[in-house]
Structure formats: structure tokens, C-alpha cells
Structure 1
Amino acid sequence: MTGWHASDALVTRYANGSLPEPDAWSLEKHLESCGSCAARASRAVRETPAGVVLAEVRETVLRASEREAAADTSAAAPSRPLRRARFRVSRPLTSTPIGSRTARALWAAGPAVRGAWSASVLGVALAAVLLARFADFAGARPLLLAVAPAVPVAGVALSYGAHSDPLHEIAAATPSAGIRLVLTRTAAVLAVSLPLLTVAGALLPSSGAPAAAAWLLPGLALTLVSLALAGYLGFRAATAVTGGGWLCAVLAPVLTADGRLTARLAGQVSAYLDGAPAQGGWAATAVLCAALLIARRSAYDRLDRR
């Protein structure tokens, strides 16, 4: 039993099939541990037209099964006895069918992945390619590499917390809440952003910038930094500090220095991303932040529940 209960409007939408599948999944996880809400949802489903039909079908099948079982008992060589059919009225016939486990997991991965954020990442990648191919902007790859490490950080900010997820209270009350839910949604964000931005970078002219994959380890490290800080500051503040700090560190020197913009940007990005010392530093940062996450994993059980 949790301290949160589903509203009547939410239960009604779940019963009539108008609640989106990801939200219905979150509500169903809550119903597993809340008997009062489960009873209300079951009663609401039975009162729908589909629930009435299912109840009638259930009674018809039960009566037919009982008649067949009685006939089988009088046969000389009875076949396998028919067991009494058992039916549980759950989602109505008009609701959206439940897809595969993989599809449900993707939908449950977070608002950033199933919302407009994924389209925004794709838009950033396409804009960089179009800027280089049709506007002949030589600094497209350095600019993309400068922005790319902050993109998954922004995705993490949009994936967790009451500010972005209308059913955050339900998700936070499930057995998979806490650090497990945080890491699941972070992995979904990385799975979307890393391949899209890396492929886009590979399609752009180098212009003196590092390789297209040079941002992957820094992007992972910055994401882990934001998660580690979230245990102290909350997700919004942690991601703002991490993403904003990175953009200021990379772009501020470029905007204030003299010389050609493309060359300055390529040099600045190379200083942060290129070479064994830089990549080794990012690797060490990622390991330290991962260790901090493991050490303070219990702090995420209470994170952003307000």
C-alpha cells in the first residue's frame, strides 16, 4: 500500500480504454501494490459496456464447460477432464492491445523518449547535415561536437521528475522506482541520442575537428556527472549545472577570442575531446561518477517526489 491513490478520472480513463498505454502501464504497476485502487479499477471496468459483455461471455463459457464436464464423466473412456474456466476482467476490449515486452519497455522508458525530445534530437542531427551540405558551413561538425555532449544531459532532465512526467508519483511508487528507474530512462536517452548524433557527425566534413565518435565518452561522462549531482541537487538543477557548464566551457572562449570562428571552434573542441589525455580524463570521470551512484543509490528512492 502506498500513500498515493489514483484519481477517479484516471481510473475512469483506464476502464474505458482512453488512457495511453504507457500511462496505463504505470497505473497497473501501482495497482499491484494498492488493493483499494485495484478494487476501484476492477469495479469501473465491470461497469463499462465491454465489461458487461465479458461477464456475459464468462457465464456462458462456464455453463458450457460444466455441461461438457458432466457429459464426460458418463463416458467409458473419458477424455482429459475440462477444468473450470477462469476469467479475470481486466482491460476492456476497446483498449489498446498490449504489445510485446520490448515495445512496452520502450514506452515506459520515459517522457523524453516517447515525447518530443527524440524528434528534437533527430532535428539537431538533420540540421547539422543540411547546414553543411546546402549552406556550405564548414564548422558544422565542430559545432555539433560542441553541443552533442549536452544533448543526453537534457534528455535526462526531461525523463524523470514530476515536472516532466504526469504519472511520476505512480512510477515512483512502483517496485522498479529509485536508481533502477533512473538508469533505465537514462539508458533509453543514450540509446536515442548516441547513434543519431554520431552518424550525423560522420556525414559532416571534419574541418579540423576530432572524429565523429570522439564525443561519445564525454557525453557518457557528463550524463553520469548529472546523475551523481542529482542525488544532491535534484534532476533539474543537476542537469542545468552540468549541461550549462559544458556549453559555457566550450563556447565562451570561442566567442570571446579573435580569429576565424570555425578554426577557433575546432581547436576548442579538439582540446576537450581529442587525444588520449582528454579521453582518459573523461573515462576516469565516468568511473568515479558510476562509483558514486552505486554508493549513494538509496538517495534516489526519495528523489524528486515532491
Structure 2
Amino acid sequence: MTDWHAPEDLVARYADGSLPDPDAWSLEKHLEACTPCAARVSRSVRATAAGAVLSDVRRTVLSDVRRTALATPTAPATPAAPHRPLPVPAPVPLPRIRVLWAAGPAVRGAWLPAALLVAVGAFVLAHGAGFAGARPLLLALAPVVPLAGVALSYGAHADPLHELAASTPSAGLRLVLTRTAVVLAVSLPLLTLAGLLLPSYGGPGAAAWLLPGLALTLASLALGGWLGLRTATAVTGGGWLCAVLAPALAPADGAVSAALTHQASVWLGGAPAQGAWAAAAALCAALLAARRTAYDRLERH
């Protein structure tokens, strides 16, 4: 329930389809939490020409369901069991349902096992194979792990209900940011903890990748308003890997660990580098805020 209720002229314009899309989306969002307004809008829509069509559709659906139920063979009767009252499940709070619906695609699929593989692989290289460049390698790969999670958490390729989600008032940048926050909440502590368990050999600290990872994630989101999330994450993540890993793979055998440590120190070590990443993150956040309306049309097919 809310203290504000939609005025009659707003309800009437919504029912006849003359209300602009931004106002309609705002009203629909209000209806999620206001039962009286939802009932008024429902009555108003039923009074229009569309109401008769919706009533016909409803009758047809109910009729089909009824015929299907009658045509389904029933199981043989069994002796009646003593009557016991069925347990009544506790209602799930609506905010929790919304969070699970919004965050779902961000924590399923191949991304989470891939993040675990990066962390466990670096640990095995350090303690099992004695590879001195395990932590710098982890620091080089860690910033692109959230990018992969973001790319795989939004769009028709990741969410079977994407078309439905994209048409709701909660879609657009708000939904993208919700799923991005879930990705970061999983990957940041996981990869930072993995870095703490690895020997440093004088390289950057285990948390040195956090600001670069945040900046690259925000850059992908800002660029996604033009290119789409998958293309934007491929551009930013690929550019990062080429800049950091490519020079480290060039030295002759035996110098890869030193080259990785040097590259990690150049890109991540020291206050100047971290300050530059912080400034880049703030700039990308400002650009994303300025381009937020682009996400109202993102991935809508």
C-alpha cells in the first residue's frame, strides 16, 4: 500500500492506451504495490473494447483447461487414508521473490563454475605446480570474470523469461545493475580470497584487481548501451587481456613468471595506477548514468 493513488484521468488514459510509455511504466510499477489502484485500473480496462476481448480470451483458456482436465485419465482409487491437514506453506515476502527473479540468471549457467575454475586453477598452479606467477596470472584474469558473468546474465540467450522481464517497468538498467551486483557479490570475495591464499613473490596485493575490475565492468555497461552487453564485454575484456597477458607470453621459456609479475605491477601496482582506475570507474559510472535510457531498448527483440 502507498499513500499516493493514481488519479482518475491517469487511469482512464492508461485504459484507452493514450498514456505515454514512461507514464504507463511508472503506473504499472505503482500497481505492483497498490491493490486499490490495481482494482480500479482493472475495472477501467474491462470497460473498454479491449475488455471484451480479454474476457473472451479468459473464457477460452479456462474452457481449454477444463477440457484437458476432463480428458486426463485419473489414477485408480486407493483406500482412503486418515485425514490429516496439509501443512500451509509460509508466504514468501514479495521483495524476496523480486530479488530472486531479478538475480536468477546471474548465478546459474556456466559462469559460476568458470569463476571457481579460475580460483582453483590458480591455487593448484601455485601450490601443486610451484608456479611463481600464479597470483599475477590470477590478477590478470580476475577483472574479466565479472565481465563474463554480466554478459551471460542478461538477454534472451541467458534468460528464458527475458521477453517477459524486458517488458516490465523494472527492466532496463535497473535489472542489469541488479544482476551485475549479484555477479560482483560472488566474484569479488571468491577471487580475492583465492589471491590471499597464493604467494605474492613481491607482486601486487590480492585486492589490487578490485578497482580495475569495477572500472572494466562499468565500462562494459556504459558501452553496452551502444553495442549490446555481449559485444561490449568482449571488447573491454579482450582489450584488457591483450594489454596485460600478451606481453607476458612473449618472453622466452622461464621468464613468464617474471613477465607476469612485471605486467601486474605496471597495471595494478601503486597508488598512481589505482587512482587512475578509480577515476576511470567514476567516469564510466557518470557515462552510464547519462546513457541510462539506452537500456530501456537493450536486448528487446
TM-score normalised by structure 1 residue count? 0.68
Q: 2:240 aligns with which of 238, 243, 246?
A: 246
Q: Please list, as runs of the form range in 1=range in 2, the aligned pairs for 1:88-167 lying within 5 A after superposition.
A: 99=92, 101-102=95-96, 105-106=99-100, 108-167=102-161
Deviations 1:98-151 (A, max 9, x none): 755447624531423123322221222122112212222221111100000011
Deviation at 1:46, TM superposition (A): 7.3
Decide whether the 8 Å contact of 1:107 with 1:114 is kept in 2: no
1:178 aligns with 2:172: yes
Decide whether the 8 Å contact of 1:208 with 1:267 is kept in 2: no
Give 1:119's aligned amino acid: P
CA RMSD of aligned residues (A): 3.2
**CA distance in structure 2 between the aligned counterparts of 1:241 and 1:251, rounded to whole angstroms:** 15
**CA 1:176/1:267 → structure 2, altered by over 3 Å: closer, same or farther?**
same
Decide whether the 8 Å contact of 1:208 with 1:263 is kept in 2: no
Decide whether the 8 Å contact of 2:133 with 2:260 is kept in 1: yes
Q: 2:294 aligns with which of 271, 292, 299?
A: 299
Deviation at 1:43, TM superposition (A): 3.7
Give 2:267's aligned amino acid: Y
Give 1:305's aligned amino acid: R
Give 2:191's aligned amino acid: L
Q: 1:201 aligns with which of 187, 195, 210?
A: 195
Give 1:144's aligned amino acid: L
Give 1:274's aligned amino acid: G
**CA distance in structure 2 between the aligned counterparts of 1:151 and 1:205, rounded to whole angstroms:** 21
Give 1:277's aligned amino acid: P
Q: 1:268 aligns with which of 256, 263, 268?
A: 263
Number of aligned positions between the proteins: 233
Aligned residue for 1:233? 227
Deviations 1:147-191 (A, max 9, x none): 000110111100111122222111101110011011101101101
SS at 1:212 equivalent: coil
Aligned residue for 1:63? none
1:223 aligns with 2:214: no
TM-score normalised by structure 2 residue count? 0.69
- For structure 2, the residue ranges without an aligned partner over 5 or more in a row are 1-13, 15-31, 33-37, 46-50, 70-85
Give 2:196's aligned amino acid: A
- For structure 1, the residue ranges without an aligned partner over 5 or more in a row are 2-28, 50-92
**CA distance in structure 2 between the aligned counterparts of 1:117 and 1:189, rounded to whole angstroms:** 9
**CA distance in structure 2 between the aligned counterparts of 1:109 and 1:277, rounded to whole angstroms:** 35
Decide whether the 8 Å contact of 2:106 with 2:180 is kept in 1: no
Q: 1:213 aligns with which of 203, 207, 214?
A: 207
Deviations 1:196-226 (A, max 9, x none): 0000000000023200000001000000000
Aligned residue for 1:280? 275
SS at 2:272 equivalent: helix
Give 2:261's aligned amino acid: A
How many percent identity over aligned positions? 67
SS at 2:111 equivalent: helix
Give 1:265's aligned amino acid: L
Give 1:152's aligned amino acid: P
**CA 1:219/1:136 → structure 2, altered by over 3 Å: closer, same or farther?**
same
Q: 2:181 aligns with which of 184, 187, 193?
A: 187
SS at 2:142 equivalent: helix
SS at 2:143 equivalent: helix
Q: Please list, as runs of the form range in 1=range in 2, the aligned pairs for 1:5-154 lying within 5 A after superposition.
A: 36=54, 39=58, 43=62, 47=66, 99=92, 101-102=95-96, 105-106=99-100, 108-154=102-148
Deviations 1:25-49 (A, max 9, x none): xxxx9xx999959948984997587
